Amino acid sequence: MRTMGTGTSPPTPPAPGPLAGYVVGVTADRRRDELTALLRRRGARVVEAPTMRIVPLDDDVALRRATERCLTAPLDYVVATTGVGWRGWMSAAEGWGHAAGLAGACRGAEVLSRGPKATGAVRASGLEETYSPGSEACDELLAWLLARELTGRRIAVQEHGAPLPGFADALRARGAEVIEVPVYRWTRPEDPGAARRLVEQTVRREVHALTFTSAPAIDFFLACAREAGLAAQLLDALRGPVLPVCVGSVCARPLEDAGVPTVQPERGRLGALVRTLTQILPARDRRVLRDGPHGLVLQGTALIAGGGTEPIWLPPLPAAILRTLAEHPGRVLSRSELLRRVWPDAQADEHAVEAAVGRLRGALGAHAGLIRTVPKRGYRLVVEG
């Protein structure tokens, strides 16, 4: 018995995601799964390496004492520095039976909030902020307070993971009584080795972008590089081929202070961060090797062909050779020039170039003809259609 065909064509493979070919480092701890999922959904390969973690205080003694001190007399100002910290404080106070008292103390004071997340948490607790700086910077909160008469004023400052000695000291110098409220703190990640490996991958240019969602995460990452003796090389990579993407200007400050330009979304949200990365990284990195419906594009370390075929992921070194040839289409590059442009290891020789070109051709498969050997001269990218 003959079986009739359905007459339908096989399904067309989905087009590669806009971040196909890119390796992106994720340094966040909190909401790491969400950020990783957003990047992978767009085709990126993700290296997860939390550079710090947020942990509650080992015991609540310091927080409880600060809270009870807030209730001993009226407060004049209350500073909310983070949404998660504010919510944690309110939750802890409720557990001790101080929820109504703390809410009343804050309601009788002027509440200042550092940015949208802190503002949202303040409003969710039934309060209204008096002032919130557009820059989300503690410096602007401090300037706003210092513009007022502070002698004898009581100010509660919810700390955001680390003490703010300069902030509190400036207020005390103006005669204020400052109550520092330590809700949670930052500490080293559970696996410091992952952060160290990400530093090394960045230095070797094996990642194309790094994402940061807090300034302390950057501080810990830079400290990890210093401990490994790789701080200068890391900063060079971040000033060059590796794109640092920060969730906002406050987050970016440690890198900006180190002379590293960063990319930031207009809104400090994970979705906006990923959209910004998706727009900028391909625009500055993508190389068209052949035009047309069956064209070839080098994106990150992947060769993407027209027609919806799966991207060909290349090892980092062969991909760097292909990228270098693509930056000089049709031009012959000698082995010594490729060695100088591509190899980070000064110990490598021209035999390493020949071996890497062989690996590149093997990885390219049907597209191996892209690389032409010019006897006694070197290699060039074939640019004909």
The C-alpha angle 118, 119, 125, rounded to 5 degrees, equals: 90
* Eight-state DSSP code of residue 116: H
What's the rounded mean pLDDT across residues 41-68? 87
Banded pLDDT at 15 (limits 50, 70, 90): low
pLDDT digits (tens, 9 = 90+) for 312-325: 899 988 999 999 99
pLDDT digits (tens, 9 = 90+) for 327-379: 888 899 999 999 888 886 667 788 888 999 999 999 988 888 889 999 989 99
Is pLDDT at 311 greater than 80 in this prediction?
yes
* pLDDT tens track for 120-164: 999 999 999 999 998 778 889 999 999 999 999 999 999 876 677
CATH class for the region spanning 23-50+202-284 = alpha beta
| 190-210 confidence digits (pLDDT tens) | 888 999 999 999 999 999 999
Q: What is the pTM of this model?
A: 0.75
Q: List strands edge to edge, sheet with 154-161.
A: 53-56, 177-187, 154-161, 77-80, 110-113
Start-end ranges of CATH 3.40.50.10090 in the chain? 23-50+202-284, 55-187
What phi and psi, each to the nearest 5 degrees, are found at residue 24?
-120, 130
Domain with CATH 1.10.10.10 in the chain: 287-381
Assign domain 55-187 one CATH number from 3.30.1330.20, 3.40.50.10090, 3.90.1150.10, 3.40.190.10: 3.40.50.10090
Q: Which one of 1.20.1290.10, 3.30.2420.10, 1.10.10.10, 3.90.580.10 gives the CATH number of domain 287-381?
A: 1.10.10.10
Give the pLDDT confidence of 65-107 residue by residue, as tens digits: 999 999 999 999 999 998 888 998 999 999 899 999 999 999 9
